[in-house]
Chain A
Amino acid sequence: MNSLILSVGARFLTGLFLLFSLFVLLRGHNSPGGGFIGGLIGAAGFVLYSFAAGVEDARRALRVDPRAIGVWGMAIAVLSGLASALAGLDPFTGLWLILADLALSTVLVFDIGVYLAVFGAILTLVFALEETV
């Protein structure tokens, strides 16, 4: 697409989208947000970039094959579910590690997995569609 406004704007917007997607991911546990919607927002950033600069450039900017991102996301989500076996609890039970004010949990790890899985899957689909059209 040959639009100067889009191609200049996309460079800034993609970064902004990614930052905002991380914010949404991390606030997800106690407020509206989470890995799924975060992954969508992050993917939207790269989709915008691919519209402006072409799929090839977007793939290069991503550096990693989006399919691999998706599969690693799935792996992380499954592993976070398996972690509760070590504590002798049911699968996918949340485990919490409270460090002063910071609460870390396997739930967050699961959400990060979801984020990556959604991010990778959406980009795989959109890139493939853009390349075939």
Chain B
Amino acid sequence: METLVACLAGFLVSMAIWLMLSGNLMRFLFGLLLLSNGVNLAILAAGRLTPGAPPLLGTSGALPPDTMANALPQALLLTAIVIGFGLFAFALALTIRAYRSFGHLEVDRMRSAEPAEDS
């Protein structure tokens, strides 16, 4: 199961890199989204996919059964997803602003901060 998830993560990352090599900001952002999803999957796989009960105490403090799921990778993932969501939303808003002020999303043609020497 881990192998399968790891392969899927690798596939996502390769797709992401292909998208990110594009000069279009929108495609780059989609690539970035895929990349962070690929990494999140990799973390989940790195924490081992153990089927089992949630690691929470039962009523009146009863211990959970012996096979518990590893909670830490999930906590890390949750944090990473939240942060990724916030950053992505910002990047999206920035992209809209950029489209408004430049009229296009080709990164190579955004030269207002670093004008070319001959212009």
Residues in chain A within 8 A of chain B (CB atoms):
30-32, 36, 118, 121, 125-126, 128-129, 132-133
Contacts and interface: CB of A to CB of B under 8 A. Distances in A.
Given A36-B78, A36-B82, A125-B86, A132 B56 contact: no
Contact of A129 (B57, B86, B89): B89
12 contacts: A30-B57, A31-B56, A32-B56, A125-B90, A125-B93, A126-B89, A128-B93, A129-B92, A129-B93, A129-B96, A132-B96, A132-B97
B96 A133 contact: yes
Contacts, number: 23
Q: Is the interface of B mostly helix, strand, loop or mixed?
A: helix
Interface of B: 54, 56-57, 78, 82, 86, 89-90, 92-93, 96-97
A121 B92 CA distance: 15
Contacts of A32: 54, 56
